[in-house]
Amino acid sequence: MDEHATPNVDTPSDAAQDKGVMRRRLGRGLNALLGGAVPDSPAGEAPANDAETELKPSDEISVELIERNPYQPRKEFDKELLLELAES
């Protein structure tokens, strides 16, 4: 055998396919963790269009009610970047 040649080695998945054995999978899959797809709206109702969605007074709060996050690592903010973000 040539010392630089790659040996022909069967991987576990190759061996399982040759024997007709199903390959065992790890875990149960994402559906077990996250659940299946959830419909966006109940049957018979049309989904709301984002462009048509309007804010209700209950969706708005006063700026004075917003509290500073004590875990916010940033202490200084670029005012120009904040204005750009607010306009977007």
For residues 73-82, average pLDDT: 87
User: Domain for residue 50, yes or no?
Assistant: no
Residue-range definition of the domain harbouring residue 24: 12-34+55-87
Residue that wins the pLDDT comparison between 86 and 57: 86
User: Domain for residue 39, yes or no?
Assistant: no
pLDDT band at 80 (very low <50, low <70, confident <90, very high): very high
Q: In this predicted model, what pLDDT tens digit does every residue of 2-47 receive, in sequence order?
A: 566 666 655 555 555 555 666 776 777 777 777 766 666 666 566 5
User: Domain for residue 71, yes or no?
Assistant: yes
pLDDT at residue number 46: 60
User: Domain for residue 75, yes or no?
Assistant: yes
pLDDT of 84 over the 80 cut: yes
User: Domain for residue 23, yes or no?
Assistant: yes
**Nearest of 38, 9, 12 to residue 26 by alpha carbon:** 12
- How many domains, the chain? 1
pLDDT at residue number 21: 64
User: Domain for residue 4, yes or no?
Assistant: no
User: Domain for residue 77, yes or no?
Assistant: yes
